[in-house]
C-alpha cells in the first residue's frame, strides 16, 4: 500500500470510529433510553423471538417494524451479544413475503441435520415462525396464520426461507401461532409448543418439516380472560426431580391488568403435558414482562428474556425514536415455598459486567426517609439495590426528584404483598390505566425478606425473596430521580443494604 493510500485508510477508519462513538453517545442520551436493557436503535419492537446460544454468541431476534414506532407488518430484527448485556444490533434477519408477515417463533441448532438443510458439514440453525397473512385475514378467513421455516448456514448471521413453506398449515383456527420448538431426547424428536387461541397444542416432528399433532392442554386451566400466546415448554430440575414448566402468555388478563405470563408445572411424556395442580401462577406480577421465552442451547441454565411492555399501552409510551425494550435476562429456577413449587427468576450472573462501585451498610434500625447518599453521587442514576430485612412490618423504597415525581416500591405487611406504585412516577397521561399501584403476593414464608431492585432510566425490576416474587414496571420520569430513601415501620430492621452503581452498556 502506498503512503497516501495508508493515510486515506487510516483517516476513514478514524472517521468511522468517531461517527460510531457519536452515534452511541447520542443514542445513550435520548430521553428514556434504556442503558443496559436491549432496545432497538429506532422504530417498533415487540416479542423476543428465536432466542438461541451458539458458538459463544447469544442471538436475539425480535418482532420488528422498521418503518414506524407503532406495530406494523412484522419482520424479525436481530442482535447479538457474548455477555447478554452488550448488544450489537444487526441487519433485519427475516422480511415479510407473499405468505405473510413474520410473527413470533423460535430457533434451534439442528445438530444432527434432521432437516437436511445442512451442507458441506455446516450445522444448520433453523428458525420456526408464524406467517400471518393479512390478505386472508382481510378476506375474513380463519386460516391466516401458519408456520414456516428459515435456516442459516453461517451461524445465524443470514437466513434463507424454506421453499416448502408453510410446514404446518392452519386447520381453521384464527389464533394459531408462536411456535416454540425444543428437542425431546428420549424419543429423538422435535416438539413444537403452539398457542392455539384458548389452549396449547403440541406437535411432534423428526425433521422440522413434517409435523403431527400430539395433544392439547389448558382449555379448563389457568387464566383465560385473554388470548393465549407465546408458549414455552422446558424441562427443569428441582432437587434431582424432573419437572416440566409450561409458560403461557395471556393478553389481556394479567394480575395487574393487560398482558402477562402465567405458567404451569407438570409432567411431559413426549406426547402430553399433565399438570401437577390446578393453580394459576405468574412468572412476573408487574405489568411489563410479556411474551418471554427461554434461550435454546444455553447449557445447564434456563435463560429467560421478556418484552418489557404491555399491549395495553405499548404503542402510546412517550419514547420518540423507538418503542420498547427487553427485560434483563434472567436465570430461571424452581423453588419451594409453603410446600408449593414455584418458578423463580433472578438476574443472570453476567450482570457483573455492568456493575460499578458498590457500598454496603449494616443494621439500619427503624429508618424514616433514610437517604442512600451513594445514589445522589451516582451521576447516571442507574443502580441495583439489595436489601436484607426482617419481615416484621411495612417498608418502602422511595425514588423521587425536585419536580415531585416519585416511584415507590414496598411491602405491605397486613396484606403480605409487595407493591410498585407508579401513579406519580412521571409522564403517565398517555393511557388511562398506566398511573397505578401494582401488587404481588409474597410467596416466601421466612422471617427475612431479600430485595433486589434493578433500576434503569425507564424501568424498575423487583426480585423479592430470591426471585420467588418478581415485578417489572416501566416508568417515564421527566427528570432523573435524584433521591433514594428507605423507610421501615416499627420492628423492621434493614440488616444489610448494598447499593451498586450500574453502567450503561450501549455500544
Ligand atoms: C404477542 C404477539 C404474538 C404474535 C406477535 C405479533 O405479543 O401478539 O402472539 O406472534 O405478537 O407481533
Instruction: For residue 178, give the ligand 1 atom closest to its CA.
Output: 10
Any atom of ligand 1 within 6 Å of the Cβ of 44:
no
Q: What is the mean pLDDT of the chain?
A: 96
Any atom of ligand 1 within 6 Å of the Cβ of 176:
no
Any atom of ligand 1 within 6 Å of the Cβ of 288:
no
Largest CA distance in the chain: 78
Reported as a single tens digit per residue, the pLDDT across 338-385 is 999 999 999 999 999 999 999 999 999 888 999 999 999 999 999 999
Residue 142, Ramachandran bin (φ over 0: left; ψ between -120 and 50: alpha; else beta) = alpha
pLDDT above 90 covers what percent of the chain?
Answer: 93
Spatial CA neighbour of 187 closest among 298, 107, 272: 272
Any atom of ligand 1 within 6 Å of the Cβ of 178:
yes
Ligand 1, atom 6: closest residue by C-alpha:
103
Q: Is the pLDDT of residue 177 over 90?
A: yes
pLDDT, residue 375, reads: 98
User: 232 C-alpha vs ligand 1 centroid, how far in Å?
Assistant: 14
Residue 218, Ramachandran bin (φ over 0: left; ψ between -120 and 50: alpha; else beta) = left
pTM: 0.96
Catalytic residue among 47, 178, 421, 465: 47
Instruction: For residue 132, give the ligand 1 atom closest to its CA.
Output: 10
Any atom of ligand 1 within 6 Å of the Cβ of 229:
yes
Phi, psi angle pair for 169, to nearest 5°: -70, 165
Domain boundaries, the chain: 37-347, 354-502
Q: Quote the distance between the C-alpha of residue 389 and its chain's center.
A: 28
CATH class of 37-347: mainly beta
Give the span between the Cα atoms of 242 and 219, in whole angstroms: 24
The three grid cell numbers given for residue 100, joined into one nine-digit string: 405473510
Are 37-347 and 354-502 the same fold in CATH? no
User: What's the average model confidence in pLDDT over 88-114?
Assistant: 98
Reported as a single tens digit per residue, the pLDDT across 13-39 is 666 665 666 667 799 999 999 999 999
Instruction: For residue 104, give the ligand 1 atom closest to its CA.
Output: 10
The CA dihedral of 311, 316, 322, 326, to the nearest 10 degrees, is: -30
Q: Is the pLDDT of residue 63 over 80?
A: yes
CATH class of 354-502: mainly beta
Any atom of ligand 1 within 6 Å of the Cβ of 260:
no
The three grid cell numbers given for residue 83, joined into one nine-digit string: 455477555
pLDDT above 70 covers what percent of the chain?
Answer: 97
Q: Is the pLDDT of residue 172 over 80?
A: yes
Instruction: For residue 259, give the ligand 1 atom closest to its CA.
Output: 7
User: 73 C-alpha vs ligand 1 centroid, how far in Å?
Assistant: 11
- Mark whether 120 is an active-site residue: no
Phi, psi angle pair for 472, to nearest 5°: -125, 120
User: 250 C-alpha vs ligand 1 centroid, how far in Å?
Assistant: 11
Spatial CA neighbour of 149 closest among 199, 212, 99: 99
User: 276 C-alpha vs ligand 1 centroid, how far in Å?
Assistant: 28
- Among 40, 43, 47, name the best residue to mutate to test ligand 1's pocket (greatest count of ligand atoms within 8 A of Cβ): 47
User: 48 C-alpha vs ligand 1 centroid, how far in Å?
Assistant: 10
Any atom of ligand 1 within 6 Å of the Cβ of 196:
no
User: 49 C-alpha vs ligand 1 centroid, how far in Å?
Assistant: 10
User: 74 C-alpha vs ligand 1 centroid, how far in Å?
Assistant: 9
Binned at pLDDT 50, 70 and 90, residue 75 comes out as very high
pLDDT, residue 500, reads: 98
Instruction: For residue 290, give the ligand 1 atom closest to its CA.
Output: 7
Binned at pLDDT 50, 70 and 90, residue 10 comes out as confident
Any atom of ligand 1 within 6 Å of the Cβ of 284:
no
In order of 84, 223, 370, the CA distances from 36 in angstroms are 10, 32, 27
Reported as a single tens digit per residue, the pLDDT across 253-295 is 999 999 999 999 999 999 999 999 999 999 999 999 999 999 9
Any atom of ligand 1 within 6 Å of the Cβ of 60:
no
- Among 131, 177, 200, name the best residue to mutate to test ligand 1's pocket (greatest count of ligand atoms within 8 A of Cβ): 177
Amino acid at each position: 500500500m502506498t503512503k497516501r493510500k495508508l493515510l486515506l485508510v487510516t483517516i476513514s477508519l478514524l472517521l468511522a470510529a468517531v461517527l460510531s462513538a457519536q452515534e452511541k453517545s447520542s443514542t445513550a442520551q435520548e430521553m428514556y433510553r434504556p442503558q443496559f436493557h436491549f432496545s432497538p436503535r429506532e422504530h417498533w419492537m415487540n416479542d423476543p423471538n428465536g432466542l438461541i446460544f451458539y458458538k459463544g454468541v447469544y442471538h436475539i431476534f425480535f418482532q420488528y417494524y422498521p418503518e414506524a414506532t407503532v406495530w406494523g407488518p412484522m419482520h424479525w430484527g436481530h442482535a447479538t451479544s457474548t455477555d447478554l448485556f452488550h448488544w450489537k444490533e444487526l441487519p433485519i434477519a427475516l422480511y415479510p413475503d407473499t405468505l405473510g408477515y413474520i410473527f413470533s417463533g423460535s430457533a434451534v441448532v439442528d445438530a444432527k441435520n434432521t432437516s437436511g438443510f445442512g451442507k458441506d458439514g455446516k450445522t444448520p440453525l433453523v428458525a420456526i415462525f408464524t406467517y400471518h397473512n393479512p390478505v386472508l385475514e382481510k378476506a375474513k378467513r380463519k386460516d391466516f396464520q401458519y408456520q414456516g421455516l428459515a435456516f442459516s448456514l453461517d451461524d445465524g448471521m443470514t437466513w434463507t426461507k424454506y421453499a416448502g413453506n408453510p410446514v404446518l398449515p392452519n386447520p381453521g383456527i384464527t389464533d394459531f401461532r408462536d411456535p416454540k420448538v425444543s428437542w425431546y431426547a428420549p424419543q429423538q424428536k422435535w416438539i413444537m409448543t403452539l398457542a392455539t387461541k384458548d389452549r396449547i397444542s403440541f406437535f411432534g416432528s423428526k425433521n422440522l418439516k413434517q409435523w403431527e399433532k400430539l395433544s392439547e392442554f389448558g382449555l379448563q386451566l389457568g387464566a383465560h380472560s385473554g388470548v393465549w400466546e407465546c408458549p414455552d415448554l422446558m424441562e427443569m430440575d428441582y432437587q434431582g426431580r424432573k419437572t416440566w414448566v409450561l409458560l403461557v402468555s395471556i393478553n389481556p388478563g394479567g394480575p395487574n391488568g393487560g398482558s402477562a405470563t402465567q405458567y404451569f408445572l407438570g409432567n411431559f411424556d413426549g406426547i402430553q403435558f399433565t399438570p401437577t395442580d390446578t393453580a394459576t401462577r405468574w412468572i412476573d406480577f408487574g405489568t411489563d414482562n410479556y411474551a418471554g421465552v427461554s434461550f435454546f442451547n444455553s447449557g445447564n441454565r434456563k435463560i429467560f428474556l421478556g418484552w418489557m411492555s404491555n399491549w395495553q399501552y405499548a404503542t402510546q409510551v412517550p419514547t420518540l425514536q423507538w418503542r420498547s425494550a427487553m427485560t434483563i435476562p434472567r436465570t430461571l429456577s424452581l423453588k419451594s415455598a409453603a410446600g408449593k413449587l414455584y418458578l423463580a427468576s433472578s438476574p443472570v450472573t453476567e450482570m457483573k459486567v455492568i456493575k460499578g462501585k458498590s457500598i454496603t451498610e449494616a443494621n439500619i434500625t427503624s429508618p424514616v426517609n433514610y437517604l442512600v447518599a451513594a445514589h445522589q453521587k451516582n451521576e447516571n442514576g442507574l443502580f441495583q439495590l439489595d436489601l436484607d430485612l426482617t419481615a416484621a412490618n411495612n417498608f418502602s423504597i422511595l425514588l423521587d426528584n425536585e419536580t415531585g415525581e416519585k416511584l415507590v416500591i414496598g411491602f405491605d405487611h397486613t396484606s403480605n404483598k409487595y407493591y410498585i406504585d407508579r401513579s406519580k412516577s412521571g409522564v403517565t397521561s398517555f393511557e388511562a390505566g398506566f398511573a397505578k399501584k401494582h401488587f404481588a403476593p409474597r410467596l416466601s414464608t421466612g422471617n427475612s425478606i431479600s430485595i433486589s431492585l434493578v433500576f434503569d432510566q425507564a424501568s424498575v425490576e423487583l426480585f423479592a425473596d430470591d426471585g420467588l416474587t418478581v415485578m417489572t414496571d416501566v416508568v417515564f420520569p421527566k427528570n432523573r430521580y435524584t433521591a433514594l430513601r428507605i423507610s421501615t415501620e416499627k420492628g423492621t430492621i434493614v440488616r444489610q443494604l448494598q447499593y451498586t452503581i450500574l453502567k450503561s452498556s450501549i455500544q
